Structure 1
Amino acid sequence: MPTGVHLRDVRTQLFDAAERVLLREGLTGLTSRAVTTEAGCAKGVLHRHFADFDAFLAEFVLDRVNQLAPQAAALRQSAGTGDVAGNLTNALTALFGSVAVAVVPLVTFRDELRARLRQDWPVGIPVLTEAVDIIASYLAAERDLGRIAADAEVDLLAPTLIGTAHLLFADRSATPDTRTLHKMVTTVIASVVRE
C-alpha cells in the first residue's frame, strides 16, 4: 500500500471499509489487514488512530449504533400514520437489513471487544439494546395516541419484536420475506392494537 497518501475522514473510511468486509466476509474475514486493504490505506493508518484492533472495533460498533438515529426518528414520526404493524415491519426490515445483524455475532464472538464496549454500554449488545429502545419509544408514542392499548407493556413487546426479528434475519444468506416478518409483527402485537 502506498504511504503518505492523505485520507479524508480516516475514521469514516475505516468504519465503512469494516462494514463492507464484515458483510461480505463475515467475522473470520474481519481483520485489520482486510479493513485497511478495503479502505485503500496502509495497515499502520488504523493503528495510528486506534490503540489496537479491538479499540477500533469498539468505536466501529458504537458508530453503527449512532447511525440508527435517523431510523429511530423516522419511526417515531410515523406514529399515528399508516398501520402499526406495517410501520414496525418496515422499521425492522431497515434495522436488520443493515449491518446490525452482523454486529451482534461480532460483539458476542470477541471477549475483548465486549469488555471495551462495557465501558460505554454497560448492559446488553449495543445494536440490539438500541433497537429495543427505538421500538419501545415508537410503541409508547402509539400508545399515547390510543392506537395500541393503554396498558400495553411496550417494554416487553419491544424486546419480543427485536428478538424474534433477529431470529428471522440471523441467517444473513436468506433474508425473510416481508410477509413472514409482517405476520410475526401482527401476531406479537395482536392483543394490544386498537386501530
Structure 2
Amino acid sequence: MTGTAIRDAREQLFEAAERVLLRAGPSALTSRAVTTEAGCAKGVLHRHFADFDAFLAELVLNRVARIDGQGAALRDLAGSGTVAGNVTATSTSLFGSVAVAIVGLVTSRDELRARLRAARPTGVPVLTEAAAMIASYLTAEQERGRVPVEADVDTLAPALIGAVRMQFADRNSTPPKTEAVHRVVTTVLAGLVREPRP
C-alpha cells in the first residue's frame, strides 16, 4: 500500500496507533509501528504531523474529545435508571476502550506530557475529563433530588474514576465483570443516592 493515497489519513493513523497500543502497550508505539499497522509509508505520518510526539499529542486530544459526547449522553440519563447503574455503564464503556492505554501512554512519555500541558495544564488527560463528566452527571442528579445537594460531587467524581480505573489497570488481564465495577461504584456512593432499590 506504500505510495497509495489514504482517505482520512489522520483517523486511519490514530486507529492504527490504538491497535498497536492495545496489543503491545506504550513502549511498542513507534512511528514505524503505526505506519506499518496502517499499511502506509512512514512519510504519510510526517506529512500530517510535525513529529511523532505531535502525532501522539493529537491522538490523545482526539480521543479525549470523544469523552464530551459520552458526557452529554450520560447527563441525559439523569433521572432515569439508577445513579450507580448509569455511572457503572458509562465508566465501564470508557475504561473498556482505549482510554486506559491512553493514560498509560501519557504517563510513560515525558515529551508527550510536556506537549499536553500546553493545552491542558492540570490533571491527566482522559482521567480529568472522565471525572468532569461524572461530576456533571452527579450535578444533574442533584437537580433531580437523587443525589443530595450537600454531596461534594467534585470530590466524589475523581474518587469514582480512580476506583473504577483500578479495576481496569492491568491491560493483560481479563476486564472486570460489570458486577465488580457496580460493586465499586455503589460502595463509593454508599449512603448518598436517594432512589428506590430495584
TM value normalised by structure 1? 0.97
Q: Gapped runs of 5+ residues in structure 1?
A: none
1:69 aligns with 2:68: yes
* Deviation for aligned residue 1:191: 2.0
Match of 1:192? Answer: 192
* Deviation for aligned residue 1:180: 1.1
Match of 1:19? Answer: 18
Deviation per CA, 1:84-125: give whole Å up to 9, x if none.
Answer: 010010011011011110011110110000000011111111
- What is the aligned residue count? 194
Match of 1:112? Answer: 111
Deviation per CA, 1:55-89: give whole Å up to 9, x if none.
Answer: 10000000000112221111111100001010010
Q: Gapped runs of 5+ residues in structure 2?
A: none
CA distance in 2, matches of 1:70, 1:37: 30
CA distance in 2, matches of 1:63, 1:126: 11
1:2 aligns with 2:10: no
Match of 1:178? Answer: 178
Match of 1:146? Answer: 145
Give the 3-state SS of the residue equivalent to 1:90 in structure 2. helix
CA distance in 1, matches of 2:135, 2:162: 13
Match of 2:78? Answer: 79
CA distance in 1, matches of 2:117, 2:69: 24
Give the 3-state SS of the residue equivalent to 2:13 in structure 1. helix
Give the 3-state SS of the residue equivalent to 1:65 in structure 2. helix
Give the 3-state SS of the residue equivalent to 1:76 in structure 2. helix
> 62-71 or 127-136: which moved more?
62-71
Match of 1:94? Answer: 93
1:55 aligns with 2:54: yes
CA distance in 2, matches of 1:41, 1:2: 5
CA distance in 2, matches of 1:121, 1:99: 20
CA distance in 1, matches of 2:45, 2:107: 23
Identity of aligned residues (%): 65
1:133 aligns with 2:132: yes
